[in-house]
Structure 1
């Protein structure tokens, strides 16, 4: 049930992302206040739906629901709770869902804390964020669905990659993604400014806090990753996925 609900939530999130990415941008270009006003609500709705989907996948991991293929391939009933939860993003599909969750949270944060932005600029920023979300949500739904079913479900899962059974998995990826994905806001501000033909000191003041926040998160994520890689592998090794 959790897998089905999560999949439906992602489909609805894609629909809202399309609304957020298209109508507010057109509204800002043509001066349609009603379309401009759609952007914050769509951003909040998208974030809520993606958070619900992420919660569904986490619930499937915690309860060892092996009817979800992703859980069967990356978890085990005997794993400690820490590794069941961190195992959610310890694989391609789950980490992509975490990426989309953070992307939607940043979009909602712009909608919430961007009250000082001109309405048209804010609509364009949220519109670009919505279009980025459309790309990632389409990718995850059509090529990397974390809620694919496995029927009949196996009695036991395969377990988590031994290299990932480490507390570093609980902290490093979320901080790293907060940094990577956080820079999408800077990108959205840049595209919005180009659409408006307005790149000035006021624009720089608006984008600066978001850029600094992303830079700080990325610094923390890289530092945690360096620490984890060093004590896990030493100087003579590398993660098998890096090449």
Structure 2
């Protein structure tokens, strides 16, 4: 269900918004009246490298979003912790944690100065449970949850809410980064016995971005088909 003009007059930035979950979120925000800017190195967005903190700070000041969705991320290879390549570990953390931190850090004071804002970070059920053979991805998403809770408390009286969404596996192109065995493992853990859809995640994110979620901050919302246990 699309809520017409729910975000009329609001400006949104969606990182990683050129594909997958980010694209679905950007499309829904647009359909509900927001002025959306996509930050993505892939074609279709503003070419912002979120791992460059100076570029992020400059672009955030220019775009001045009322809503920030941090959806950019990578999985890294599926190998055991002791065999995990250091260079891949650093790549995952540089985007999933550092890039997200740079975006949150740049947006928070701008939103606080206006007395209104919504920050929604994309976490994962892997950040709660820790998937085997995905140590960098799992731990990076745990970091996202922790950062979200900290920032949410810091901004609690500023009119700015900060929340994250923790999906179970959602069928997107990110599966191309995973082995078939790992994909099968993730599906086997979901009681609904199916993967989530990008539209289901977008619906939850857009509720968190709306005025209806004004008393909700520092929280992690599951979209896991029954997988999450806490």
TM-score computed with the length of structure 2 as normaliser: 0.30
Name the structure where strand makes up a greater proportion of residues.
2
TM-score computed with the length of structure 1 as normaliser: 0.29
Structure showing greater Rg: 1
Name the structure where helix makes up a greater proportion of residues.
1
Specify which structure has the bigger relative contact order, considering alpha-carbon pairs within 8 angstroms and separated by 6 or more residues: 1
